[in-house]
Structure 1
Amino acid sequence: MMSRNEGPSARRQFLKTAGVLAVGTAAVGSTACQVKEPAQVDESSAARTLGFDRTLLDALAATVLPASLGAAGVRTATDRFVAWADGYDPVAEEMHGYGYSDIRYLPADPAPAWRAQLDALDALSRKSQRVSFAGATTEQRTAVLAAALRDESGERLPTPLGARHIALALLAHWSASPDAWNLALGAQVSPGTCRVLDDARRAPLPLAPAGVSNAVEAKS
């Protein structure tokens, strides 16, 4: 929570950050106390090509995700994105929302386009930087991404499924996660996850220092 002595600038930045995260949560978040595992791939979807070129995807993640996550945090966020994309059920029937009664369906599988975009980033890097995307420096990868995303609006993040480029989808997916909320708010808020009733009136714990798990800190 923000203290009363923080200025308008800090409050505006807080609201801007929380607003961006809230947009993504609508797409990937889950109801509190409802644990969602990646959808099982049934026979009807067995023909789907799963996974990504992890060398390219890891290089992309290291470029677009916050450096403050550290290597382990970036790897975890990337693993979760892959699990979500692999478990996505294309054109599945949506849950009925408020305000409409017609049956609606989810978008088609975005993963093939995202895989093609990874390959395109590598090709663009080889042509413009004379080095593979994975072998490029952070500055070189940033330049490649700037060229690839030059026509994208920078006003706000799309939802992961609404992202037209895998770089934005990866960032949007992480931004909707409990870890992103915790980092933005500086406390273990973890929206969309279970909290026991005894914790309802207790202020959220501060973020655990690097190398210290939340469980260890909660006992201290």
Structure 2
Amino acid sequence: KAIPDKKLILLAEGNRADHFSAGFQINFAWDYLGSIKNVFGVNKTAVSSLFTTNNNEYGAVPTGKQKLRFTTNHDESNIASPISVYGSKNGALAASVITIFLKGVPLLYCGQEVGVNSTVIYNGVNTIDWTANSEMQLAYQNIMSFYTASTTARYGNLTTYPDVNVAVFQKSTATEQVLFLVNARTASQTLSVPAVLQGNWNNVLTGEAITLSGSVLLTGFQYMILKK
């Protein structure tokens, strides 16, 4: 690990706890992947199950180590594209927002940023059209720009709020709070907003001032990133 002028990341391509004691810094969050596919897929598992999986995975992670969180990778995209797995482009984006911000180190796999919707793109012959789905690429750029810029979003203390259909979680520091609301369903959902989250917020992605009261309506696969 001691190479002058180089920074190495030791990633184990597995999910065993003993990878960390062997010296690896990060390993794959396969249990989380299974959970988020169940939430967005045909099973429609309760969204709060993601928080249980998150706690279980990190229960075996030593301080200073991390899980690699992803909604697809080279194996998964050869089986089914994120567009198929998560229901649509908007579904794939919603799943990514939860995955990027909940906890861990986010992985974006080649092509998901532009909504690759076919497995044959990875057969070694075809190429990715990087001009496709420009609105999706812009959405990823905006999401990742905030992720990179916000220490609170990356490292803040995590608080989760259970709901069957909407992911509700908050990252907080002494000076800032960031709230994530993500509808994991194709249909609109009315979320009962916990009292502690009610009040005035700013929408990170639009700049709009928002007041959360007793309930909020989220359209299918809508996500909101709010801060104050």
TM-score between both structures, scaled by the size of structure 2? 0.26
Bigger-Rg structure (1/2): 1
Greater fraction of residues in helix: 1
Q: Relative contact order (alpha carbons < 8 A, sep ≥ 6): 1 or 2 greater?
A: 1
TM-score between both structures, scaled by the size of structure 1? 0.27
